[in-house]
Amino acid sequence: MEKSVHVTTALTFALALTALTALPAIAQPLPSASPESVGFDSARLKLLDDYMAGAVAQGRVAGMTTMLARHGKVVEFKTYGQADLAAQRPMNRDAIFRIYSMTKPIVGAAMMILFEEGKWKLDDPVTKFIPEFKNLRVLTGPDAQGRMTTEPAKRPPTMREVMSHTAGFGYGLDEVNPVDKIYIEKKVLLTTTQQQMIERMADLPLKFQPGTDWAYSIAVDVQGAIVEKLSGKSLSAFLDERIFKPLKMTDTAFQVTGGREGRLAQVYEANLVNGKLAAATTGLVLDILKPEFRENGGGGLFSTTVDYARFCQMLLNKGELDGARILSPASIELMDTNAITHEALAKSPGIGTGRFNENVGFGLDFRVVMEPRRAGLMEGKNSMDWGGAAGTWFWVDPTNDLFFVGMIQRFGETGGDNLGQQARVLTYQALVHPEK
C-alpha cells in the first residue's frame, strides 16, 4: 500500500512537472528601479496611477496595464480592473491584447531590416516590388453629373511615401471619404491573401497625387506583402525569426494558441444608448485562433505589455537589446525622422494633437515629434509614438531615455478623454529631475 502511494505521488508530480514545462514561456520584464533613482517624484507619479485607476472605477475601461521605464529600468508596472467583466477575471501582467495598429512599427522595423540588407531604397518606386501598381489613378472628384472622375498618377509612390502614409492609398476606415468608401465596398481589408489585396488595390484610385498629402492608409499592409516578397517567407515567420525570437517577445504573434488563450483580454465598446461598456461586436474583433484573412501587417498582431516594452527598449537602445541587435542606430534615426514633405505638411489634417507641421510629423511607420514645446507637448525631441484601434498606446522618448506602454481593450472613447494624452502629461509632470 505504501509503495503504491509513493508511486502515485511520483506519477502525479511528474505529470504536474510535465504540464508546467509544457506551458509557453512568458517574456521576462526589464529590471526595475525606484522612481527617485531615475528622476521621478513618487508623490507626483501617484497622480498617474490614480487617474488610470479612476478610469477603471468610473467604468470608462474594463481593465488596463501600464508600464513606464527609464534608463532601461521599469519605474512602474501597474494593472487595473478586469480582463473579462463577465468572467470576473482580473487583469494580470501577462494579459494578451489585440494591439491593432501598434503592429505597424514592428512591420516598419522588419522593412528596415531588409533595407539594411540592400533589398530596397527609400526612393525606389513601389512598382519595383508591386508591379500591379503601375497604372494607379488619382480621384479628382465627382463631375457635374456626380460621377467619380480620376486622372493618372503622375508617378508611382516611392517606398518612403509608402512608409509615411503619403502614397495616397485609402484604408476603408472612413465611411465619408469617397476613396475609403470604395475600399469598404471592395472589402480590401477583408482580403484573404496578400496578392488578393494587391490586385484589388491596383484597381482603386488614390486619394491624392503621391507625396502631396498625408492620409492614414493601408500602406503598412502593403509593407507586409513586400516583406514576404523580399524575404521569401510569410510575414509571421520573418517577424518571429528576425524580431520576436531575438528580442524574446514570446507572446507576440498573429494567433493566440498553445495554452495562451485564457490570458486574452476581452475587447469592449461603449454602448451608444447608456454609455456603458459592452462586449465588442464590430467586425474588427480579430479571431484569436487564426488570422481571419491574410497576416495583416497594419493591425493583426496580439502582444503583451512586457513584450511590447522589449520592442520599445530596443528602439531606445538604437536597435539592440540584451545583446540582440535588430537594427543599426542609423536605421532607428531614419525611422525617427520626419518624412512628410513641406507640401504635404501644409495639407495634412494630422491626428491626436492636431495638424502635422514643422513641429510634429511622421517618420517611417511612427509619428515623430520634432519640436515638442512649440507643439504644446511635454515629451522630449524626437519622441516616437503610435496607438491601436482598441485603445492601446505607446511612446518612446530618446531625449529623456524613457518609454511608456498602455494597454486597454476598448473601441471608441468613454468619458471624453484620451488616456494616452493624459498619461503623457501625468508622466512628465512627475519627471522633476530629468538630468538623473
pTM: 0.92
CATH code of the domain made up of 112-231: 3.40.710.10
Long-range CB pairs of 47-56, under 8 A, 24+ apart, other chains included? 47/426, 47/429, 47/430, 48/76, 48/423, 48/426, 48/427, 48/430, 49/76, 49/78, 51/422, 51/426, 52/78, 52/80, 52/419, 52/423, 53/80, 55/80, 55/415, 55/419, 56/80, 56/81
Per the CB < 8 A criterion, the answer to whether 29 and 309 are in contact is yes
Per the CB < 8 A criterion, the answer to whether 125 and 117 are in contact is no
Cell of 84: 473579462
Q: Helices in 134-193 by DSSP H: which ranges?
A: 159-163, 178-185
Per the CB < 8 A criterion, the answer to whether 83 and 344 are in contact is no
What is the Cα–Cα distance from 162 to 174, expressed in whole angstroms?
19
| pLDDT by residue, tens only, the chain of 436 residues | 444 444 333 333 343 333 333 445 667 779 999 999 999 999 999 999 999 999 999 999 999 999 999 999 999 999 999 999 999 999 999 999 999 999 999 999 999 999 999 999 999 999 999 999 999 999 998 777 778 899 999 999 999 999 999 999 999 988 889 999 999 999 999 999 999 999 999 999 999 999 999 999 999 999 999 999 999 999 999 999 999 999 999 999 999 999 999 999 999 998 777 778 999 987 777 766 666 568 999 999 999 999 999 999 999 999 999 999 999 999 999 999 999 988 777 765 544 334 688 899 999 999 999 999 999 999 999 999 999 999 999 999 999 999 999 999 999 877 667 899 999 999 999 999 999 9
